[in-house]
Amino acid sequence: MTTSAPRRPRQDAVDNRAGILSAATAAIAHDPQASINTIARSAGLSRRALYGHFADRNALLAEIIDAGAKRFNRIALDVTDANAQVALARLTSLLWQQAAHVQVAASIALDDAHLEATGKALAPLRHAVAAILQRGQNDGTLRTDVDVTTLARLVEEAARAAITRVDASLPEARSLAVRTTLSMAGLSWRETVALLEAHPDILGAPAADGAAPADTAPAAGDAATAGDAATGDTPAAGAKR
Amino acid sequence: MTTSAPRRPRQDAVDNRAGILSAATAAIAHDPQASINTIARSAGLSRRALYGHFADRNALLAEIIDAGAKRFNRIALDVTDANAQVALARLTSLLWQQAAHVQVAASIALDDAHLEATGKALAPLRHAVAAILQRGQNDGTLRTDVDVTTLARLVEEAARAAITRVDASLPEARSLAVRTTLSMAGLSWRETVALLEAHPDILGAPAADGAAPADTAPAAGDAATAGDAATGDTPAAGAKR
DNA sequence: AATAACTTGCACACTTATGTGCAAGTTATT
DNA sequence: AATAACTTGCACATAAGTGTGCAAGTTATT
């Protein structure tokens, strides 16, 4: 009696699961109180089916937070500029691409029930921010009239506001988010403008591998980056079954 | 048959009604989802009694918003500094004293159900802010890299974050809120520090009537102002009946 | 002291949302 | 083609919140 080898999940089920996560991200970004039913339906599934993929609401939220945090933390590792001002600007610019995820993370992070979990998940990003700010304070390139901890919170709030409370479809949206963060970090608006002019790559393409820093970056790479980000890929398309 | 003259409300009832408003402000500032029961109990009343004073949840919220908005709008009128930077700083400083009310207004304003009502109630304050920002842009004392409308939103968000997301008991809290707003308006952190040093009255007493602009303003006025504000006068004391 | 105003507690109806069990149908996989 | 996996719709139990009616008690006001 060989224990029957457990067949692996069906492909449509895998897709549906991913669809739920995606739909939930979009739905919660739009309304933190979105019901399970709303989420399931916007993923093209029945409420009942959703419970076949996630034990309960918390399990779903936990995974969303985790996914978002992983993106953020990976981004944070990518920012290696020695100049604190530049590092902060670039970090904001990259996070801006993850608007929907930032929105969701912010919503859930404000909820007492998930405060601890979100705190843990976002720790690497927060550490990275703190490190950048500390570095900037040490070399005098960032404000020193506020202690690092408080400054970190203010910068985080400013970034969140600029990323999530401004129409992301506006062409200046990204630049605006970056300038907002820098302002909060102590720079004057003229300094932020000058910095962005001196470092056009910050608002441009993410400077892939050894690619040439041409005028306009390869459309492919740019599109790919924007594809899985920004608006948060709402499926709306029906799920398979 | 003279129609019996309707006796006017009992004093304890008047007090209880005020107590509910006060408790609701505090409760909602702490948790926008606070239940009617929670509010009533924290006002020292039963849930049932609350419905004797307010038709429903909306009526209660509407009055809270109105009360807060009136405070804000009155404050806005008090700020008459010609210098836009100074005006913005003073406005923030005065609003900081209304932390609990700012918190509540922000919570309710984010709710779709009350978006319209809050928008109307807060219109005067928002107009005042827009006017200040416009003035600053015209004379070049505030940033001009962002249009007034967007700048107004960013400043509002920054102020809200600084006022409500920072421990108000910290001695630097007020100064921090002011500097945050100025930073968002385009000043460098050194400029904000300089401005506050040049205008110590902004963080001090509200410069009553024609009073002398002495070093430290009359303690009486200061205490009175802080009394009905900041922490949001949580009653906790039982209601009379 | 009489009266009207107010509060309380309880019962009740109603709504919204969560989570589960189950039978019947559909689809991917073998 | 057979089978296991998946989805659906329905019923059901549970929970929490809202808003109202009513009788009984308490308190301010006249």
Q: Is the pLDDT of residue B1 over 50?
A: no
Q: Does B180 touch chain A (CB under 8 A)?
A: yes
Q: What is the mean pLDDT of residues A94-98?
A: 97
Report the number of distinct structural domains present in chain B: 2
Q: Does B188 touch chain A (CB under 8 A)?
A: yes
One domain for residues B49 and B110: no
pLDDT of residue A7: 80
One domain for residues B131 and B24: no
Taking contacts as CB-CB distances below 8 angstroms, the residues of chain B near A158 are: 157-158, 161, 184
Q: Is the pLDDT of residue A210 over 60?
A: no
Q: Domain containing B205: what range? A: 56-227
Q: What is the mean pLDDT of residues B227-238?
A: 39
C1' nearest to CA of A55: which nucleotide? C19
Q: Which candidate from B150, B162, B176 shows the least CB-CB separation from A166? A: B150
- pLDDT per residue as tens digits for the range A6-18: 689 999 999 999 9
CB pairs under 8 A between A and B: 71
One domain for residues A50 and A108: no
Is B102 contained in some domain? yes
pLDDT of residue A211: 41
Is A213 contained in some domain? no
Is B239 contained in some domain? no
Residue in chain A closest to B189 (alpha carbons) equals A186
- pLDDT per residue as tens digits for the range A141-199: 999 999 999 999 999 999 999 999 999 999 999 999 999 999 999 999 999 999 999 99
Is A233 contained in some domain? no
Cα–chain center distance at B149? 21
pLDDT class of B206 with cuts at 50, 70, 90: low
Q: What is the mean pLDDT of residues B85-110?
A: 96
Is A87 contained in some domain? yes
Please report, rounded to a whole number, the percentage of residues in chain B having pLDDT higher than 70. 82
Is A3 contained in some domain? no
| CATH code for the domain of B115 | 1.10.357.10
pLDDT of residue A2: 46
pLDDT of residue A206: 57
Q: Which of residues 4 to 23 on B have a Cβ less than 7 angstroms from any strand C atom?
A: 6-7, 9-10, 12-13, 16
Of the residues B54, B70, B89, which one is the last residue of a structural domain?
A: B54
pLDDT of residue A205: 60
Is B3 contained in some domain? no
One domain for residues A78 and A192: yes
One domain for residues A89 and A186: yes
Length B48 CA → C12 C1' (Å): 14
Q: Is the pLDDT of residue A215 over 80?
A: no
One domain for residues A111 and A193: yes
One domain for residues A40 and A86: no
Is A239 contained in some domain? no
Best A141, A151, A157 member to test B by mutation, with max B CBs in 10 Å, is A157
Residue A41 Cβ < 7 Å to strand C: no
One domain for residues A16 and A111: no
Residue A99 contacts residue A167 (beta carbons within 8 Å): no
Q: Does B75 touch chain A (CB under 8 A)?
A: no
Please report, rounded to a whole number, the percentage of residues in chain A having pLDDT higher than 90. 80
Cβ–Cβ gap B158/A153 under 8 Å: no
One domain for residues B101 and B192: yes
Residue B178 contacts residue B89 (beta carbons within 8 Å): yes
One domain for residues A70 and A87: yes
pLDDT of residue A204: 82
| CATH code for the domain of A20 | 1.10.10
pLDDT of residue B232: 36
pLDDT of residue B223: 34
Best A110, A142, A184, A195 member to test B by mutation, with max B CBs in 10 Å, is A184
One domain for residues B143 and B184: yes
- The DSSP-derived string for B158-198 is HHHHHHHSS-TTSTTHHHHHHHHHHHHTT--HHHHHHHHHH
One domain for residues B181 and B218: yes
